[in-house]
Amino acid sequence: MRRSRPGFTLIELLVVIAIIAILIGLLLPAVQKVREAAARTTCQNNLKQMGLAAHNYHDAKGKLPPALTGGLSNVEPSIRYATMHVYILPYIEQENLYRLFPTGNANYNALREAGTNQVKTYLCPSSTQTESLASGESFNGVRNYTVHYYANLGPLGQNTSVTPATAYERRVIGSQGGYSLAGPLVVSSPAGGGSHGYTIMGLSDGTSNTLLFGESSKNGWKFYRSWIRGWDNDSSGATVTGKNMVYTINSTDYTANNFNNVSLSSNHSGGVSIALADGSIRFLRDSTPLDTLLRLASRSGGEVVTLD
């Protein structure tokens, strides 16, 4: 008599494979969701660190950091064409990197060389490495790193919540659409009046009602592929690391006329992370009305803001 061997039939094997495939299909979205949740937490922690750095800068200098110094200004120490991201380096444990930036009317290449260093605090982990590099700046063939968190320069638009509709508090100067001076972080240059910056007390709308930094990090946008510059500076004095509030979230890529007006954006599902002037971090949904965004962007227009 033959003894039969134990084993799987072909049908049983196929059933087992199908069950495993179903389990993988169920688990994969959960793994991706956990990964994105971790990336979003890291992103918000980056904004938290930047917000605390801005407050520490305020404690040390008496004013909030400038969004950009377009040429030499009365910001001390004066670093030609430096960005806010340069000035807060000592307050995010990057003192050694900060010391690489020469003060005064220095050779621009020295600033670009410093900008080839990666500062992870300025980059959202949900964005790709390639699109975390500047295409508009490099040093000896090495591309500078960019930023994913931008200074709020202020609103451009009209307050439609009042009758008749009135313009939000703003001042428009410069080229490529200009930039607003109604936000908490200013462009310190001769064109901008040479102002160092505003005090916390100068944000009369209230720190919990005023946007300080906003995320703009969406993969694949032309803004990142073609025109983005480094986190360090820009020889043209353009508002490289500061943006006006003009459009709704995830709605506007770069065009020839809105370099300074690119909307808040991210690769996070459903919205973007922001830092308010009181140091708190919020997540704004894609559906946030433009009127609410304009109110948030204004530092002293008297607008009331209601966030979910």
DSSP string, 243-299: EEE-S-TT-----TT-GGGPPPB-SSTTEEEEEETTS-EEEEETT--HHHHHHHH-S
Cβ atoms of 200 and 277 within 8 Å: the answer is yes
pLDDT digits (tens, 9 = 90+) for 108-143: 677 778 888 889 999 999 888 777 777 667 778 888
Cα–Cα nearest to 132, from 141, 140, 92, 121:
121
pLDDT band with cut points at 50, 70 and 90 for residue 24: confident
> How much is the average pLDDT of 36-45?
89
Confirm if 212 and 185 have CB atoms less than 8 A apart: yes
Which residues face 188 on adjacent strands?
A: 69
| Alpha-carbon dihedral angle through residues 47, 271, 37, 216, given to the nearest 10 degrees | -40
Structure tokens at 182: 């109604």
Confidence of residue 74 (pLDDT cuts 50, 70, 90): low
Task: Kindly give the pairing relationship between strand 211-215 and strand 242-245.
Answer: unpaired
